[in-house]
Amino acid sequence: MAPWACASVGNRSQRPAVSAPDSLPASDVPSPSPAGFWALVREALAGTRRDLTAETLSRAILLLAVPMVLEMVMESIFAVADIFWVSKLGPDAVSVGVCTESLMTIIYTLAMGLAMGTGAIVARRTGAKDPEGAARGAVQAIILGTLAAAVVGLVGAVAGTRLMALMGAPPGALAIGAAYPRIMVGGSVTVLLLFVINAAFRGAGDASITMRTLWLANGINIVLGPCLIFGWGPFPRLGVTGAAVATTIGRGVGVLYQLRALARGRGRLRVRREHLVSDGAVQRTILRLSRSGTVQMFIGMASWIVLVKIVSRFGANVLAGYGIAFRVVMFALLPSWGLGNAAATLVGQNLGAHRPDRAEQAVWRAALYNLVFLGAVGLVLVIFASDVVRLFSPVPEVVEAGGRCLRIVSAGFLFYAYGMVVTQAFNGAGDTKTPMFINLVCFWLWEIPAAKILSGPLNFGASGVFFAIATAFSLVAVLGVATFRRGRWRSVEV
């Protein structure tokens, strides 16, 4: 989730309106041959050196989206594989993961906020043909991420179990998963650096490196996870704690790969010895860009924590079903974040190159592609919701609750398609304040009160929470598109 910004380029009245993807100039809608298409795909996977601000939008989106979508596909596979193996240990084990994920939202908030600032700096400098500025920005972001991780990791290692209890974890979950939150939160440096460095690579247009990073990290997670959970072969049987150990090891290896790629300069972004100095001015710029981005993410993540607390009142089986359903939803949505990330990179680089109209066109084009993808996926999940949840748990109560959640939330995928891309576009322009206010309205002023009222006084039970989630994310799309059309994101400065 990267953000970028641009020098002042005028207001809406000074530019021609671009309202939808079909307004793109004909010259920017090529029809490559099948051979040409697959050649571009291979180039995207290998790592392209093309100037993305000069390529046609179709090619630019393809070159960025292919590795970004595959990157998120692997993230989705890991999320589902992780919950699949943990679910074999029972509902209490799933509850450990659900409650710890709620704690991890604080770390994800910091990581995503810093990633927004990092992506803004790197994308803008890349679009302005300033590779030295891009490298300096990446180094300063790594310094900030390491400092933040030291503080958060210490707190998590000491108080992780007590914090999980505050999240409403059932007694059985606390009994079997005391070490899980300490390992996950204590190893937060791997999360922060993974997010921040990948944001730098995305901003530079090195999408193939971010893809390989997450494929390596999550591939290790997927293979090592069941070995440590069940004690296969020479590995110790650690139960649910094994999932935390595997995840932390995998992420750590991914970070080492990122640092090696930065040092060797395999892509557009290369860090040399002279860049390895602290630069207060650049750090302040990143923090300024990241501040509202962090609040933006905190608003959304904090609402997730509250929702877990509300759902936990209906028992371990409902909470487990909710956790499984949301892992499946993330499996479906994460690839479409790849399209959102591609749009964000193009927005940032084109603003840096002083081409705001092209930046807007890229957003509508990516949103349309996302609509087609998520519409098809959402239809499948609505029809086969219970069957999908049953793959992870044979417990009837878990299947019933999870299937209900999956069916209701997936019904709004058409809205989410535009909401995800437009939100990323704001962040890509460096306008992290607008999504912050949209999140405040949709999640705190609507989602949480609606979940409480629907699940309580109106007697919808857990389904009330599920309806609140679906409507909140749909509202994000409506408000996001309406605000994006106003065009203020064009004049944000970095």
Spatial separation of the C-alpha atoms in residues 181 and 194, rounded to whole Å: 19
Mean pLDDT, rounded, for 222-247: 91
**Is residue 63 within a helix (H) or strand (E), and if so which, with residue range?**
helix 57-87
Q: Is residue 7 part of a domain?
A: no
Contacting residues for 103 by C-beta, under 8 A, at least 6 apart: 156, 160, 163, 164, 167, 181, 184, 185
Confidence of residue 330 (pLDDT cuts 50, 70, 90): confident
Q: Is residue 442 part of a domain?
A: yes
| Both structure tokens of 184 | 């996950």
Give me the number of domains the chain comprises.
Answer: 1
Q: Which of 157-171, 197-211, 397-411 is least confident?
A: 157-171
Mean pLDDT of the chain: 84
Q: Which of 167-176, 233-242, 390-399, 447-456 is least confident?
A: 167-176
Mean pLDDT, rounded, for 11-38: 45
Q: Is residue 298 part of a domain?
A: yes
Q: Is residue 98 part of a domain?
A: yes
Mean pLDDT, rounded, for 200-222: 92
Confidence of residue 345 (pLDDT cuts 50, 70, 90): very high
Q: Is residue 15 part of a domain?
A: no
Query: Which of 23-37, 69-83, 154-168 is the most confident on average?
Result: 69-83
Using the predicted structure, report yes or no on whether residue 386 has a pLDDT greater than 90: yes
Q: Is residue 16 part of a domain?
A: no
Span 243-277, pLDDT tens digits: 889 999 999 999 999 999 999 887 789 899 898 99
Going by C-alpha positions, the residue among 68, 28, 33 that lies closest to residue 47 is: 68
Q: Is residue 481 part of a domain?
A: yes
Confidence of residue 156 (pLDDT cuts 50, 70, 90): confident
The parent domain of residue 203 ranges over 57-491
pLDDT for res 153: 78
Determine the length of the chain: 494
| Both structure tokens of 85 | 């193996």
pLDDT for res 167: 64
Q: Is residue 245 part of a domain?
A: yes
Long-range contacts at 176-179 (CB < 8 A, ≥ 24 apart): 176/89, 176/92, 176/93, 176/96, 176/239, 176/240, 177/92, 177/93, 177/96, 177/100, 177/239, 177/240, 177/241, 179/241, 179/244
**To the nearest whole percent, how much of the chain has pLDDT over 90?**
40
13 class by beta-carbon count within 10 Å (0-12 exposed, 13-18 middle, 19+ buried): exposed
**Is residue 147 within a helix (H) or strand (E), and if so which, with residue range?**
helix 131-166
Query: At 230, which amino acid appears?
Result: F
